[in-house]
Chains A and B, each alone.
Chain A
Amino acid sequence: MILVFIEHKDCVLNKTSLEAIVAAQSIGKDLGLKVAAVLPCDKDCALAQEIAGYSLEKVIVAKNEKLGTYTPDGYADAWEQVIRATNPQYVVMSHTYQVRDFAPKVAARLGREVVGDCIRYKAEGGKLVLSRRIFLGKLDADVTIGGDAPYFVTFQSGAFRGENAENGTAAVETMNVMVGDIRMTPEAPFQEAKATVDLTKSEIIVAVGRGIKSQENIALAQQLADVLGADLAASRPICDSEWLPIDRQIGSSGQTVAPKVYIALGISGAIQHIVGMKNAGTIVAINKDSEAPIFDIADYGIVGDLFDAVPVMVEEIKKAKG
Chain B
Amino acid sequence: MKIIVLMKQVANKDAVLRIGGDEKWINEADISQQTNESDGYALEEALRTVEAKGEGEVVVCTLGPQTAKTVIKDALARGANRAIHIVVEDSKTLSAYQIAKTIADAIRDENADLVFTGLQSDDASYGQTGVILAELLGIPHATIVIEVDRASLGDTLRVKRELESGWYQWFTYKLPSLLTIQSGISQIRYASLKGIMAAKSKEIREVTPSVEAFASAAKIEKVYMPLKTKQTQILGNGDAKAGAVELVERLRTEVRVI
- Give residues in A with beta carbon < 8 Å to B: 71-73, 96-98, 100-105, 107-109, 111-117, 129, 132-148, 183-192, 195, 203-204, 228, 236-237, 239-241, 246-247, 249, 252-256, 260-261, 281-286, 289, 291, 293, 295-306, 308-310, 312-313, 316-317, 320-321
Q: Which residues of A contact B241 (CB under 8 A)?
A: 308-309, 312
In the assembly, what is the distance between CA of A148 and CA of B241, in Å?
57
Interface residues of B in 109-157 (CB under 8 A from A): 122-128, 131-132, 134-136, 140-144
A-B contacts counted at CB < 8 A amount to 277
Q: Does more than half of chain B's interface fall in helix, strand or loop, or is it mixed?
A: mixed
**Is B193 part of the contact surface with A, judged by Cβ < 8 Å?**
no
Which of B65-73, B81-89, B195-203, B244-252 interfaces with chain A? B244-252
Chain A residue at minimum C-beta to C-beta distance from B123: A135
Selected contact of A195 from candidates B13, B166, B171, CB within 8 Å: B166
The listed residue (B172, B236, B239) touching A184 by CB distance below 8 A is B172
Contacts of B124 in A (CB 8 A): 134
Flag whether B190 is at the interface (Cβ < 8 A): no
* A residues in contact with B210, CB < 8 Å: none
B253 closest partner in A (C-beta): A320
Residue pair A305, B165 in contact (C-beta under 8 Å): no
Stretch at the interface among B1-9, B42-50, B55-63, B222-230: B222-230
Please report the C-alpha to C-alpha distance between residue A309 and residue B240 in the assembled complex, in whole angstroms: 5
Q: Assuming A101-B143, A117-B127, is B169 touching A302 (CB within 8 A)?
A: no
The answer to whether A146 and B219 touch (CB under 8 A), given A135-B26, A255-B165, A304-B239, is yes
Can you give 12 contacting A-B residue pairs, CB < 8 Å? A97-B163, A115-B218, A139-B223, A146-B216, A146-B218, A147-B215, A296-B226, A302-B247, A304-B236, A309-B247, A312-B244, A321-B258
Per DSSP, are chain A's interface residues mostly helix, strand or loop, or mixed?
mixed
CB atoms of B166 and A101 under 8 A apart: no
Minimum C-beta distance from B236 to chain A (A): 5
* Interface magnitude class on chain B: 35 or more
The 8 A CB mask of B164-178 against A (1 = contact, 0 = none) is 111111111110010
A143 and B247 contacting across the interface, CB-CB below 8 Å: no
Q: Is the CB of B226 within 8 A of A185?
A: no
B: residues with CB less than 8 A from A are 11, 13-14, 16-17, 19, 26, 95-97, 100, 122-128, 131-132, 134-136, 140-144, 162-174, 177, 183-184, 214-230, 232-236, 238-241, 243-245, 247-252, 255, 257-258
Q: Is the CB–CB distance between B144 and A101 below 8 Å?
A: yes
B134 touches A105 (CB 8 A): yes
Q: Which residue of B lies closest to A193 (CB)?
A: B166
CB distance B97 to A133 under 8 Å?
A: no
Residues on A with C-beta less than 8 A from B247 are: 284, 300, 302, 309, 313
Contacts of B222 in A (CB 8 A): 141-142
Chain B residues whose C-beta falls within 8 Å of the C-beta of A116 in the assembled complex: 126-128
Residue of B nearest to A246 (CB): B166
Could you tell me if A228 and B257 are in contact, using CB atoms closer than 8 angstroms? yes
- Contacts A148-B216, A255-B165, A291-B16 given; indicate if A105 touches B131 (C-beta within 8 A): yes
Top 4 A-B pairs, shortest CB-CB distance: A304-B240, A240-B184, A147-B216, A104-B128
Partner of A134, one of B13, B125, B216, B235: B125
